[in-house]
Each structure stands twice: as structure tokens, then as C-alpha cells.
């Protein structure tokens, strides 16, 4: 089983869509952990609604390509995700493959670790919460070092929402 980290974000009905995405992930994989969820501003778009972001750790036998195209993309599609030329357009759900075990790869559609982990606090900090001793494959950088140098301003913890996500995931895993 591979230890995989998925970035989850939404700024269109985020409470509904993040919960639905996590339910779908739990139906197809083993959810091993859910980071704190954070409310964050949209990148370069202050007029857009706030995002809800978190990272989910799953365990799966699926390959990176199967995770991205066989699990994540179908969940996004089922929740009404549309892709446009505007990389920062509002979205119902965004599911990103961040880390896949200790694999480092740079393929046409999959880069692992996702290079945004080095730039985005709402990715690095939640991964650090879930795996504080992790070392980023290909970079030989401890996630602790990456996360602790990130600015945390603009990341509002959503404690009640996080508790709800974890309770729902635990219930799903027990059924």
C-alpha cells in the first residue's frame, strides 16, 4: 500500500463539496488522516470567495496515474468541476496528488512531489501536520523545514469543520 497525500480545496459551496469529496475518497481508498482544514484567500484573486483547504492522507494500491485519473478526476467531475484556461478560476473542488510514497517523478501530467508544496503554506503545513518526519523525495528536504519557514498569515483554522470531516471519515471507515 502506498502512502499518498491529496490536496483538497474548494471555494464554491466548500462545506458541501469538501465533505462530498472526502466521502468519495473514503469509498475508494483507506483514509489514514485528515489535516486541519483552513480558510484561505484565493491566490491572486481577492474578489473571489474564500477557499477551504486541507490535505488528506490515504493508503491505496493504485498507481499515481490511477489515483489521478481513476480516483481524483472522476470525483472532481462528479462534483461539477470544470477546467478552464484560468488556472485560478473558482472551483467546486480541486483534488491534487501532492505526494505518493517516496516516489519522485516528472511526467507529462504528474509531478511528484507536487512542486507547489515548496510554495504554498496551505499544502506544506497540512502535510507537516500529518507527517512531521517526512522527507520530500527528490528534494531531500524535511517537510518540517519547508513548513516552518512558510508564512501562516491568511490561514484561518476551521476546527469545527475539521472535527466534522474526521468524524465522517471515521464513520465511513468503520462501515
Catalytic choice (19, 91, 114, 120): 91
Measured in residues, the chain has a length of: 175
User: Which residue among the candidates 19, 94, 114, 120 is catalytic per the annotation?
Assistant: 94
Question: Which residue is catalytic, options 19, 81, 114, 120?
Answer: 81
Residue 91 bears catalytic tag: yes
Active site residue: 96, 102, 111, 144, which one?
Answer: 96
Q: Is 106 a catalytic residue?
A: no
Please say if 19 is a catalytic residue. no
Active site annotation includes 96: yes
Active-site positions? 81, 91, 94, 96
Amino acid at each position: 500500500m502506498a502512502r499518498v497525500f491529496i490536496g483538497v480545496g474548494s471555494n464554491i459551496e466548500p462545506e458541501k463539496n469538501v465533505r462530498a469529496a472526502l466521502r468519495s475518497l473514503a469509498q475508494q481508498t483507506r483514509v489514514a488522516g485528515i489535516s486541519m482544514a483552513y480558510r484561505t484567500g484565493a491566490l491572486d484573486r481577492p474578489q473571489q470567495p474564500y477557499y477551504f483547504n486541507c490535505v488528506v492522507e490515504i493508503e491505496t494500491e493504485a498507481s499515481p496515474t490511477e489515483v489521478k485519473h481513476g480516483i481524483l478526476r472522476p470525483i472532481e467531475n462528479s462534483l461539477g468541476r470544470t477546467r478552464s484556461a484560468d488556472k485560478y478560476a473558482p472551483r467546486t473542488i480541486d483534488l491534487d496528488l501532492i505526494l505518493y510514497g517516496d516516489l519522485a517523478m516528472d511526467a507529462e501530467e504528474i509531478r511528484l512531489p507536487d512542486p507547489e508544496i515548496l510554495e504554498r503554506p496551505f499544502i506544506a503545513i497540512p502535510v507537516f501536520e500529518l507527517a512531521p518526519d517526512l522527507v520530500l523525495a527528490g528534494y531531500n528536504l524535511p517537510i518540517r523545514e519547508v513548513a516552518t519557514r512558510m508564512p501562516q498569515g491568511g490561514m484561518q483554522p476551521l476546527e469545527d469543520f475539521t472535527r466534522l470531516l474526521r468524524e465522517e471519515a471515521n464513520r465511513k471507515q468503520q462501515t
